[in-house]
Structure 1
Amino acid sequence: MPLQTDLLKPGRRKAAIFLSLLLVCQAAAYHLMPKTERGFAARPLREFPAEIDGWRMIADYEIDPDVQRVLRADDSLNRVYLRPGSPATVNLFVAFFRSQTTGVAPHSPKNCLPGSGYAPLDSGTVRIQLPSGAPVEVNRYIVARGASRSLVLYWYQTPARIVASEYAAKLWLVADSLRYRRSDTSLVRLVVPMEEGAPAEQEALAFARAVLPQLSQFLPRLDDGQ
C-alpha cells in the first residue's frame, strides 16, 4: 500500500488548497485593482475613545518598531480595556491600511500568533448581534502559550463590510476596488486571557458588540471619499 505523505493528509491538503487559492486571489487583486484610487479622510487611531460602553482603557502601547516594519500599517492601535467589576481584560488591536495596491495587506493572526509562540488549539467563527442591523460573523480562535490560554476574535473591516474569511476578504478586495476605487481596510483583533473564573467568552463578545459600532463610525467609510 502506498505511503501517504504529510502533504497528502486531508487536513494539510485542505490547508494547501486554501493557501493556493489565497495566493491566486492576492495576485488577481494586485493586477486588477485600479492604480489610481479615490482620496478619503482618515482620523488618527490615537483619537479612538478611551471609554467604550463601560470599558475603560487601562493601557496604551506603542507598536514595536520591528513589528511595524513587518506590519507596514499606515496607522495602528494597541490598547487594553477593562470593565469595572470584571476580572477579564480585553486587548484591542487595530491595524489600518490605506491602500493595498502596492502589495501591503493585513497579516492574518492565524499566521502571526503561532510565529509569536502561541499554539493554536481551536478555530472557527461566531456571529455577533449588533444593537442595530444584521449580525456579523467574526473569527474565533483559541491559542495557548505555556500554561496560559487566550480567546481571540478578529475580523477585516472595510468601508463596505465586515469579513471573517481571509479568502473572502481578497475576493471583496477586487470587487470593491473596481466598484469604489478604494482598497483601504483594517484588521481588528480582540484578545482576552482565559483565566480561571474569568468569563473570557462573555467579555470578548460583549466588548465586540460595544466596539463594532464605534469602529464603524471611526474608521473610513464609503461616504468619506473625495
Structure 2
Amino acid sequence: MLSFLNSGPARLVTLLLLLQAALLYSSIRPEVIPASPALAEVPKTMGSWQLQDEGVIDPEIRQILQADDLLNRSYVNPAGAGANLFVAAFRSQRTGKAPHSPKNCLPGNGWAPLESGQYPIDVGPAGPIKVNRYVVAHGDQRSLVLYWYQSRDRVVASEYEAKFWVILDAIRLNRTDTALVRVVVPIVDRETERATQTAVDFVKSFYGILQQYLPA
C-alpha cells in the first residue's frame, strides 16, 4: 500500500485532485474582471497603416461569438495593400463563453486550408511572439491568415495551451479573460510570401497599441 502511494500514478491522482480542488475554490470566489478601454477606441492610424473601413458585425454573428467587445476593421498601407484586423475580447470565460477558433470557423464559411503552421514575429520590445499562420482558399480567392490568443502580456498560438493558461490564471489570479486576434491579408497573384510579409508588417504596427486596449 505504501509503495503505491509513492508511485507515479498515485502522485498524478493526487495532483489532479489538488487541481480539481483549486478549480472548485476559484469558481466560488467572485472573479476579478479587469477593466480596459473599448476596442472602438483603437486608433484609426497605426504606424503607416490607415483605417479604410469600419466593418459591421451582424447581430446574429455577435450572438454566436458572445464576445464582450469586438473590433472588425480594414486598414491600408501607403503601397495600397490591405489587411483586416478582427479582435474578440472576453472579460470572463466562466459562463462558457470562449473564443471561436478560426481553424474551425474558416472551413465552416467555405474557406479551405491549404497551408498551416506557426510563425514567429518580432514585435520589438515586447519580444518575439509565435502565431498561427494559415493559407486558405475560397474558389479562386486566397488569403493569408494570422491569429493568436492574447491574455495579459502573453501570446499563445495553440488552442490547447490557451485553455491550459485559462485554468492556471483562474487558479492563480482568479481571472479568465482573453482575446482572439486575427489578421487577414488577400493573396494577390499567388504571392503568398508577399502577403505574409504584409501581414507581419501590419502586426508590428499595431501590436504595441493593441496591448493598451486589452487587460494588463
Q: Shorter-chain TM-score category?
A: 0.7 to 0.9
Q: Structure 2 residue aligned with 1:127, among 117, 120, 141?
A: 120
Give a deviation string over 1:20-58, Cα, whole Å, max 9, x none. xxxxxxxx8xx6553421132121111011000010000
> What are the Cα deviations for residues 70-95 of structure 1, in whole angstroms up to 9, with x where unaligned?
10011100000000123x21000000
Map 1:145-160; keep pairs closer than 5 Å: 145-160=138-153
Q: How does 1:72-221 map to 2 (within 5 A)?
A: 72-86=66-80, 88-196=81-189, 199-221=194-216
Q: Could you say which residue in structure 2 is the equivalent of 1:64?
A: 58
Q: What is the distance in 1 between the residues matched to 2:63 and 2:103?
A: 19
Measure the CA separation in 1 of the matches of 2:48 and 2:153: 28
The aligned amino acid for 1:143 is V
Post-superposition Cα deviations, 1:146-178, rounded to whole Å, max 9, x if no partner, equal 001000000001114110000000001111111
Once superposed, which parts of structure 1, at least 4 consecutive aligned residues long, lie more than 2 Å away? 31-35
Deviations 1:130-156 (CA, angstroms, capped at 9, x unpaired): 221321100001100000100000000
Separation in structure 2 between the aligned mates of residue 160 and residue 178 of structure 1, nearest angstrom: 18
- Structure 1: stretches of 5+ with no match in the other structure: 1-27, 222-226
Q: How high is the TM-score relative to the length of structure 1?
A: 0.81
Normalized against structure 2, the TM-score is what? 0.84
2:35 is matched with 41
The code of the aligned residue for 2:84 comes to N
CA distance in structure 2 between the partners assigned to 1:215 and 1:186 by the alignment: 11
Preserved contact between residue 146 and residue 182 of structure 2 (Cα < 8 Å): yes
Give the SS at the match of 2:124.
Answer: coil
Please state whether the residue corresponding to 1:183 is helix, strand or coil. coil
Instruction: Give unpaired runs (5+ residues) of structure 2.
Output: 1-19
160 and 182 in structure 1: CA distance in 2 versus 1, 3 angstrom threshold: farther
- Following the alignment from structure 2 to structure 1, what is the Cα–Cα distance between the partners of residues 183 and 126? 21
Matched position secondary structure for 1:111: helix
Q: How many aligned positions are there?
A: 191
Structure-2 separation of matches of 1:163 and 1:34: 23
- Letter paired with 1:210: S
Give 3-state SS (helix, strand or coil) of 1:218's partner.
Answer: coil
Taking only aligned residues, the RMSD between alpha carbons, in angstroms, comes to 1.5
Q: For residues 118 and 87 of structure 2, what CA distance do their matches in structure 1 show? A: 19
Q: How far apart in 1 are the matches of 2:33 and 2:168?
A: 18
Deviation, 1:59, is 0.1
Match of 2:125, SS state, is coil
| Identical-pair percentage | 49
CA shift digits 1:3-27 (9 cap, x unpaired): xxxxxxxxxxxxxxxxxxxxxxxxx
Paired AA for residue 42 in structure 1: S
Q: 1:213 to 1:78 in 2, by over 3 A?
A: same
